[in-house]
Structure 1
């Protein structure tokens, strides 16, 4: 049976009686609001937004006597109404938090629960159950329709596709974005230290006997004595409306039977009146023979002239399809692509700053001409790469647009611009410089080792590293990137990149590998550490080429002389020395000397150390090539230069 209006209000009043609390005691944040008929709408049609609704008073979660978490159970009803029928964005979560609300939370993949710096910290003391409708590789999501148990972060400790087990043990799939009202029960049993999560349609009278998720974990180390219970949801480039229809809490293990009688049917995602008008107009014009004839002629001409572009893009759209922006939306956001909105220009085209109407979200729009020298190749490379990558240290692609011969890529706006704008000034401290190096290391480690395919960036330099509002570094500009399936030789046959950052073997062979990325990254490390460009024509003769100068000082035992005195005095000299030496090794002309990004991240984190005889290896390879490395390993028994250090990586 279905219902709406007053019947829905009646249901919600019944649900609120279970809690013994009034919904008015909930405190909302962001886009969340209490609707007139009594339920919470956590998100609305605003894109890239989040909404939180937390109870105003904390619950006593732990026993003060022994510090254990006693048994408890939470059950709530929810529904998700997506903008697109088969595409949710991004999901919602029940959250148990030490604070009322989560300050500083981000929307999109962070679900309004964490941000890129707080995610995963043990100090969070946050336990949540997510209803995730978007697959984020950076959090190892299993799919775009799953339930997960999270502790202190968004990488689920346990997850499963959304659904339930019937009485015969058969698994029944449920779509979280089906607009159906569903029930989810979270039950923690203290004697077994077990957390069970069960999902089911709201119309089911009894609870499924077998839980969807079962985690054997003592929650005592993660929860404080008093905790707030609340709900959070977020949207991304595609909209979704997340409803929380009612909840109740029991201070013990409880599986209450539900006899709702009637189940609400929620309205579809609202459409703009202007869009409805356009749809009606299009339908009407379709019946016009004249327009049909003209459209066919124009379409056929466009097909002949741009056949290659059309076929490639449409195949990609079907397979990957991020959000496609309307040209009018981007035109309005950038104020007609006015010069005063221009952030920069290059061989690819221009980049404009914009503000999306309705959400006030700041964006950067890369405008690429189809007839430009690099336009189409870079466009296809970028959307086929970064459109599927998710990492906090990569610039996020929000969507794209095509209009005639023009192509547009839409990114998060980075307020501090590119690193090269202030890298060579004295404004950056060593702590900030080291964090920038570490952030880019993390991004490249993800590209080379963690993603499902190997991604070779091919153009690592300060101009392609952007700085966000929290001074986090994000690697961007994937216009030259290449992807390779695991198990295949990750090489290309076209020299690409920026002069000065191109590895010698790439010039000779034209084949890019992960090691050519490491070469450019090594030079990047030296630039960031020393705060000067790779080539300084007006410097003293021995200091003109940065890497040569550092190598010369290393051999003379005073490598730190290449770093500004202010930076040398600011932090411990040992860390500076390690970064300088690692930069020289990474940018060595012999590829076999260069470590993998896995080695680099371990050294920067202090997990591994540079081999004691590394200078001997560097000098031997410089004079005798790759054979010098192998011969030196065989001739010096105590050499600690590991095999992984000379491997190409995954």
Structure 2
């Protein structure tokens, strides 16, 4: 039957419209495009991370990681001692078959490190490929939120990472505090180079780059399955990918990565506020990573207060000067106010600018050094808790008196040098401030205070008692810090004031050696110079009174007394009262006497007896303490040997009863100690920082 022309046209139109709708539906279902992101099975690209309602377009975030409304992935938020992670939500297949080799891949991303305070960031960030997204057991600070002390270096980690490190940690053999490294299952890099790029426009000349620069940079990470070559290339944002990579190595990732692995980023902060950001990211498997659209990248968040208009900077001083001229009484008040914050500054200190704090900031941070912020005091000054006005960083400020310019330049140089030390058992010295007759040292704040408050608890005080396990870990931690100071750092650092009140306890109850106000530095392989005798009574090595030379072995002596102090719960010199013939008792003599009688365990702190403490471990600590506190320096072990004793790698030499029959105090007197008090008072009044009260009994 033949249809009329009008009906035939209507049927043809319906068929055409159905075809168009089917084609549109097919196109929609075969192409996925999200604002700021394009992805396929073997590639994806993020040109910014906006559009995910704070979750970054489906990214898996944990810790401090967030996505700003503008689309910036912030791995950290400026909070101290925390970590953050961000992962692509689903695992990527790096092998064509479960038992096949890892395929070639290419990754590129745009990042920026933004210091919140001064020009420093700690500690760094990584791009990583991992079998898991769970990094809850990772540590912050030098471990970059990636591993911890126990897991670092284990093949079972199956992690490949590229670290962008803004801190130097010698325990991971870091070359400096501005480097890029390739990491395989460990934070000790397989290959590492200082940050920079080879400029093709200048014939391949190498240009240094500063990671902590508040400027965006781009990183390319490439793996060639045929040659198993890994390359990492770094360049400023508007520079094309250099033909020569910054870091390269040959490593078969088929021995490391699983078939399905997650891609992401990790970052962590230390004692200085730091912000680590990612602005764009792309991946290509068996192909080049797709180009990131630089025109769509979000702007970095602004840090710090808004800059004051220049007009105000000109008008305000003029108005203030006019007001002072017209009102005489205001002149007097203003002069007094300026004297209140006056500092001592000389031209040679300009090179230490980033390490110098203003007195005004420290004054306001401590609320005018108010007694309610007083943390402690000793023979060398008082220590106050403070919160810096701008950064809100918690610090401990120590005020040390000085009356002479002699040696102050060398002293400040050493203080600034010590400020570069990074070790988990050493309190970081952040900087200094100098006034007439006064020096202020600024340290990282330790929330749990000093160790002595846990050792010498009064009955009326509500303070916890440390069990033996924690005490032994603190002893080992301080030993590790001293070993680092004596042998592992770029110079030999002699602390000169090791005692319980100078060992601070961090939030995890780890012991950290602090108070470097009396420390001295010298080059490895050289002899220390004779200097004035400083320190605390009860911790002096006998040879100090004769030679005046503070050496690593004099630190070892003080460390031996420290071990006895922690184990016995007694001060180095115990006041027995005026009613007795002998008004004081020397701790080391008392322990030696019990060792000779075979009753060494009777010296252990009464609060530890009957507890779960290990008798063998306690005896080990006491024997190491006596060995370190031997009156003859050539008998004392080095801190390297002490570490081996504490770790059980080497047995402690047996202490013979005949060698313990002497009186420690007698040796001190025979070595010229009786002349020490007058020597200290005379020398310290002539030479530099320390007041004539150069020591105090056990504090």
Could you list the per-position Cα deviations for residues 592-633 of structure 1 after superposition, in whole angstroms to 9, with x for gaps in the alignment?
100111111112112222345x5389469999x9xxxxxxxx
What is the rounded CA distance, in whole Å, between the counterparts of 1:199 and 1:526 in structure 2? 53
Aligned: 1:422 with 2:454: yes
Does 2:497 align with 1:456? no
Measure the CA separation in 2 of the matches of 1:446 and 1:176: 27
Matches within 5 A, 1:147-546: 147-151=180-184, 154-165=187-198, 170-189=205-224, 193-205=228-240, 207-218=241-252, 227-234=261-268, 241-252=275-286, 254-256=287-289, 258=291, 270-273=303-306, 276=308, 281-284=312-315, 310-311=345-346, 315-316=348-349, 318-319=351-352, 321-327=353-359, 329-356=361-388, 361-368=393-400, 380=412, 383-402=415-434, 407-424=439-456, 427-538=465-576, 544-546=585-587
Higher mean displacement: 506-515 or 540-549: 540-549
Compared CA separation, residues 378 and 345, structure 1 to 2 (3 A):
farther
Answer yes or no: is the 8 Å Cα contact 2:168–2:422 preserved in 1: no
d(CA) in 1 for partners of 2:407, 2:151: 36
- Determine the structure 2 residue equivalent to 1:554: 595
Q: 1:597 aligns with which of 630, 634, 639?
A: 639
Residue in 2 that maps onto 1:643: none
How far apart are residue 249 of structure 1 and its match? 2.5
Residue 94 of structure 1, CA deviation: 1.4
Tell me the distance in 2 between the aligned counterparts of 1:498 and 1:45: 39
Unpaired segments ≥5 residues, structure 2: 1-32, 50-55, 326-330, 458-463, 668-699
TM-align CA RMSD: 4.6
Q: Is the 8 A contact 1:107 1:235 kept in 2?
A: yes
Residue 586 (structure 1) aligned to one of 628, 634, 638: 628
Whole-angstrom distance in 1 between the partners of 2:103 and 2:450:
51
Shift of 1:235: 5.5
CA drift of 1:483 comes to 0.5
- Distance in 2 between the 1:30 and 1:328 partners? 35
Aligned mates of 1:256, 1:65 — CA distance in 2 = 23
In 1, the alpha carbon distance for the partners of 2:662 and 2:248 equals: 55
Q: How many Å apart are 1:445 and its aligned residue?
A: 0.3
Give me the whole-angstrom Cα distance separating, in 1, the residues matched to 2:452 and 2:404. 25
Query: Higher mean Cα deviation, 145-154 or 16-25?
Result: 16-25
Partner of 2:652: 610
- CA gap of 1:175–1:363, structure 2 versus 1, over 3 A, is closer
Asked if the contact 2:161–2:182 (Cα under 8 Å) also holds between the matched residues in 1, the reply is yes
Instruction: Report the Cα distance in structure 2 between the residues aligned to 1:234 and 1:324, rounded to whole angstroms.
Output: 25
**Which consecutive unaligned segments of at least 5 residues does structure 1 have?**
1-9, 626-650
Structure 1 stretch displaced more, 75-84 or 592-601: 75-84
Q: Distance in 2 between matches of 1:99 and 1:541?
A: 69
8 Å contact kept, 1:560–1:568: no
Using the alignment, how far apart are the partners of 1:344 and 1:58 within structure 2?
53
Alignment of 1:70-149 (within 5 A): 71-82=104-115, 90-97=123-130, 99-100=132-133, 102-103=135-136, 109-113=142-146, 120=152, 122=154, 126-137=159-170, 139-149=172-182
**Distance in 1 (alpha carbons) for counterparts of 2:566 and 2:619:** 13
Query: d(CA) in 2 for partners of 1:420 and 1:67?
Result: 59
The verdict on how the C-alpha distance between 1:379 and 1:541 changes in structure 2, with shifts beyond 3 A counting, is: same
Partner SS, residue 350 of structure 1: strand
1:570 and 2:612 matched: yes
Matched position secondary structure for 1:533: coil
The answer to whether the Cα contact below 8 Å between 2:70 and 2:299 also exists between their aligned partners in 1 is: no
Deviates more, 1:548-557 or 1:478-487: 548-557
1:31-70 equivalences in 2 (<5 Å): 31-43=64-76, 51-59=84-92, 66=99
Report the count of equivalent residues.
599
Aligned residue for 1:480, secondary structure, equals coil
- Structure whose CA Rg is larger: 2
Q: Secondary structure at the match of 2:232?
A: strand
Mapped pair 1:19 → 2:60: no
CA–CA distance in structure 2, aligned partners of residues 132 and 30 of structure 1 = 19
Checking the alignment, whether the CA contact within 8 Å between 2:451 and 2:500 is kept in structure 1 is: yes
SS at match of 1:460: coil
Asked if structure 1 preserves the Cα contact closer than 8 Å seen for 2:589 and 2:663, the reply is no
Contact 2:180 2:194 in 1 (8 A): yes
Residue 446 of structure 2 contacts residue 505 of structure 2 at CA under 8 Å; is this kept in 1? yes
Q: Which moved more, 1:99-108 or 1:483-492?
A: 99-108
Inter-CA distance 381–258: structure 2 relative to 1 (3 Å threshold): closer
* CA shift in 2, pair 1:400/1:546, >3 Å: closer
SS at match of 2:57: helix
Q: CA deviation at 1:40?
A: 1.8
- C-alpha displacement at 1:454, in angstroms? 0.4
| CA–CA distance in structure 2, aligned partners of residues 527 and 377 of structure 1 | 35
Contact 1:128 1:151 in 2 (8 A): yes
Task: Classify the secondary structure of the residue corresponding to 2:616.
Answer: helix
Task: Identify if the C-alpha distance between structure 1 residues 113 and 510 changes in structure 2 by more than 3 Å, giving closer, same or farther.
Answer: same
Distance 1:220 1:438 in 2: 39
**CA apart distance, 1:528:** 1.5
1:23-50 deviation line (CA, Å, top 9, x unaligned): 4212334554323343323345667765
- 1:85-126 per-residue CA deviation (whole Å, 9 max, x = no partner) reads 9755544321344553643766655545467x5683647665
